[in-house]
């Protein structure tokens, strides 16, 4: 979900640049021979400070405003397109930190007359943002008390087998990763789970950039299994995020834009999305496991691994964690209680959830913040006066992602109020009257191509407003286009820069670009086919697709 493609944590590296912009002057001038070197140094300094990329944003905006003519009465739409070019270039190039680029609409929208300062500011804080903020706090508590690691080691030791069964070990690692990613952001999940995978691989022989076994067949088997394990963690974290609203920022953006554009439609809640997302995720996960087993495991893999890996390694790591303390149990209790509250707030039309007790004015973000607050109240049981969480532990909250989500909601409002979506949707009017078997894959592929070159959240922010207005103009239910676009934005499986999870996996040195492409392409195809079948079949019950938009 939802961070800068060039930086796993969504922060630009420009803050760390120490290259001086102005070179110290030399008394008496600069010798002719030194002038080219000085000029080159100045150019390097400009590039190090990313000033060309910084200037490119406003330059693109000015070019759009000066050269693009959308017709009479569409000045605001033209300005919106220019602002979008500005923000998009800063997002993609990392000219400024992601959080700073995401705050740009706060001053650009009022300056260009797109919306007032109050309106754009309100987009940066609503129930959806509360959901993300509370989820981040809970994820930090889980990480702080090593609960995720305890869970991973328990499950993987169960699946390891004696002797080692590679397919079951892959199932244990990837299954655990998928489960964890359902409840916390998929990038955070990858960062948490990758050390578990590489911890297992450290027991395997590795020399330089690859596995070495005196040239024997066993070395090749171990090398291929190492690729499978790293790829499994990378893709399972993305697949798990698809299953729930909290797993990735894409789903959060979808829900926010859905309620903004179509308040009259059946709302997408945590439980209703899971009814659709979980079956979809399970199908893609099964495809992942089968693909890894077929491509990277053979009948000799288990024998090759047994020489280096057994259950005792995992159990030894688990024993080092010691018994579960009071603090860990309480964090799990709070987390489990939150999941129950999420799932039961709204049930069915005939059986109302607990939200009806509060006249349905309580949102998913409401209960998330409430349960996160308990972490600052319940004692940890370690030191007198210490609570489960304090604000110092929350310094790692990814504010850049929260601001990015706010920017997404602001841009969605800007698309709608400026009339830009009406103009852009004209280009996809050929879908009018088309079958759902055409509309769904076209929308998914359109979004899936863009997401390989920019962040999942940025892709969602760009395409969902377009699809929302397109659904109105071609008179189809908005879920056909918006859900397809959101799922497509999560299928960034092919390139190292496709998502922060891909970067984390690629940085281990176990996988190559070819591995990502050959493994990710079948997964994208399976996901596309699954969406084409599931959305028309489950959609009427979950999204109310039997009614027109």
Rounded CA separation 201/198 (Å): 5
Distance of alpha carbon 270 from alpha carbon 286, whole angstroms: 23
- For residue 429, what is the enclosing H or E element? none
Whether the predicted pLDDT of 158 surpasses 70: yes
Over 80: is that where the pLDDT of 25 sits?
Answer: no
- pLDDT score of 461: 79
Q: 19 by DSSP, 3-state: which?
A: coil
CA distance 499 to 10: 11
Residue 24 DSSP code? P
Q: pLDDT class for 21, splitting at 50, 70, 90?
A: very low
202 phi and psi, to 5 degrees?
A: -65, -20
Where residue 231 falls among pLDDT bands split at 50, 70, 90? very high
Least confident of 134-138, 241-245, 425-429, 474-478: 425-429
Query: Can you tell me which residue has the tokens 């994208």?
Result: 524
Residue 412: the pLDDT is 73
SS (H, E, C) 247-302: HCHHHHHHHHHHHHHCCCCCCCCHHHHHHHHHHHHHHHHHHHHHHHHHHHCCCCHH
Q: What number is the average pLDDT over the span 359-370?
A: 84
Hey, which of 54-68, 242-256, 338-352 has the most confident mean pLDDT? 54-68
**Predicted confidence (pLDDT) at residue 27 exceeds the cutoff of 60:** no
pLDDT surpasses 70 at 4: no
In this structure, the number of other CB atoms found within 10 A of the CB of residue 13 comes to 13
What is the predicted pLDDT for the residue at 11?
Answer: 41
Over 346-381, what HEC string results? CCCCCCCCHHHHHCCCCCHHHHHHHHHHHCCCCECC
For helices 217-243 and 513-543, give the axis angle rounded to 10 degrees. 30
DSSP assignment letter at 202 = T
pLDDT for 43 equals: 65
Mean pLDDT confidence for 89-116? 88
Give the mean model confidence (pLDDT) for residues 315-340: 86
- Per residue in 416-431, pLDDT tens? 788 776 676 666 667 7
pLDDT at 12: 39
- Residue 207's SS3 state is strand
**Pairwise pLDDT comparison (338 vs 286), residue with the higher score:** 286
Residue 2 has pLDDT above 60, yes or no: no
pLDDT at 123: 82
Mean per-residue pLDDT, 342-346: 77
Q: Name all contacts of 540-546 with Cβ < 8 Å and 24+ positions apart.
A: 541/275, 542/272, 542/273, 542/275, 542/276, 543/265, 543/266, 543/268, 543/272, 543/276, 543/477, 543/479, 543/483, 544/265, 544/266, 544/477, 545/477, 545/479, 545/480
More confident residue, 21 or 483: 483
Confidence check: pLDDT of 369 > 70? yes
Confidence of residue 111 (pLDDT cuts 50, 70, 90): very high
Residue-wise pLDDT tens digits, 373-384:
999 999 988 888
Can you tell me the mean pLDDT for 494-517? Answer: 77
* SS3 of residue 387 by DSSP: strand
Query: Which neighbouring-strand residues pair with 387?
Result: 379
User: How confident is residue 109, by pLDDT bands cut at 50, 70 and 90?
Assistant: very high
pLDDT 10s digits, 81-94 = 899 899 888 877 87
* Residue 453 or residue 290, greater confidence: 290
Q: Compare 121 and 498 and report the one with higher pLDDT.
A: 121
Higher pLDDT, 276 or 143: 276
- Band the pLDDT of 13: cuts 50, 70, 90: very low
At 387, give phi and psi (nearest 5°): -100, 170
Q: How much is the pLDDT for 153?
A: 73
- Predicted confidence (pLDDT) per residue in 205-218, tens digit: 664 444 444 445 56
Q: Which residue has the higher pLDDT, 103 or 452?
A: 103
Q: Which residue has the higher pLDDT, 292 or 69?
A: 292
Burial class (CB in 10 A: 0-12, 13-18, 19+), 526: middle
- Percent of all residues in the chain with a pLDDT value above 70, rounded to a whole number: 83
pLDDT at 331: 92
Average pLDDT, the chain: 79
């Amino acid at each position: 979900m939802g961070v800068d493609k060039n930086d796993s944590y969504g922060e630009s590296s420009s803050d760390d640049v120490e290259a001086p912009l102005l070179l110290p002057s030399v008394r008496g001038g600069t010798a002719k021979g030194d002038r080219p070197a000085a000029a080159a140094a100045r150019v390097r300094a400009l590039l190090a400070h990313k000033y060309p990329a910084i200037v490119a944003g406003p330059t693109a905006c000015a070019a759009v405003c000066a050269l693009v003519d959308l017709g009479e009465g569409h000045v605001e739409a033209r300005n919106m397109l220019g602002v979008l070019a500005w923000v998009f270039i800063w997002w993609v190039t990392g000219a400024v930190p992601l959080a700073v680029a995401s705050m740009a609409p706060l001053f650009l929208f009022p300056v260009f007359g797109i919306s007032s300062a109050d309106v754009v500011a309100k987009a940066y804080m609503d129930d959806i943002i509360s959901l993300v903020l509370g989820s981040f706090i809970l994820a930090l508590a889980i990480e702080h008390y090593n609960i995720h690691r305890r869970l991973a080691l328990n499950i993987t030791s169960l699946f390891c087998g004696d002797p080692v069964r590679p397919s079951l070990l892959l199932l244990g690692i990837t299954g655990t990763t998928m489960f964890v990613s359902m409840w916390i952001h998929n990038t955070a999940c990858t960062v948490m789970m990758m050390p578990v995978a590489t911890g297992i691989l450290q027991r395997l022989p590795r020399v330089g950039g690859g596995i070495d076994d005196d040239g024997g067949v066993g070395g090749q088997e171990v090398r291929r299994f190492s690729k499978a394990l790293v790829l499994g963690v990378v893709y399972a974290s993305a697949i798990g995020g698809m299953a729930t609203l909290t797993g990735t920022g894409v789903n959060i953006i979808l829900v926010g834009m859905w309620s903004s554009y179509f308040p009259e439609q059946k709302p997408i809640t945590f439980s209703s999305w899971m009814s659709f997302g979980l079956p979809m995720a399970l199908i893609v996960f099964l495809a992942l496991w089968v693909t890894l087993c077929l491509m990277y495991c053979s009948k000799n893999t288990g024998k090759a691994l047994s020489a280096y890996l057994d259950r005792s390694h995992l159990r030894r790591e688990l024993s080092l964690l010691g018994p579960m303390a009071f603090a860990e149990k309480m964090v799990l209790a709070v987390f489990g209680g939150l999941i129950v509250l999420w799932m039961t707030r709204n049930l069915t039309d005939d059986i109302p959830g607990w939200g009806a007790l509060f006249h349905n004015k309580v949102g998913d973000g409401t209960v998330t913040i409430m349960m996160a607050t308990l972490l600052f109240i319940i004692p940890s049981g370690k030191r007198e006066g210490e609570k489960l969480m304090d604000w110092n532990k929350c310094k790692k909250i990814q504010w850049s992602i929260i601001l990015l989500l706010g920017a997404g909601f602001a841009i969605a409002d800007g698309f709608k109020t400026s009339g830009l979506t009406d103009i852009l949707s004209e280009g996809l009017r050929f879908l009018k009257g088309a079958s759902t078997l055409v509309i769904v894959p076209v929308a998914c592929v359109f979004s899936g191509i863009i997401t390989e070159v920019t962040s999942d959240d940025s892709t969602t922010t760009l395409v969902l407003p377009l699809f929302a207005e397109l659904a109105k103009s071609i008179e189809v239910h908005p879920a056909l286009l918006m859900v397809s676009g959101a799922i497509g934005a999560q299928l960034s499986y092919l390139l190292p820069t496709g998502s922060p999870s891909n970067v984390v996996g690629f940085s281990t040195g176990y996988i190559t670009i070819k591995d990502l492409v050959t493994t990710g392409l079948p997964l994208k195809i399976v996901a596309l086919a699954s969406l084409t079948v599931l959305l028309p079949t489950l959609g009427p019950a979950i999204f109310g697709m039997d009614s027109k938009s």
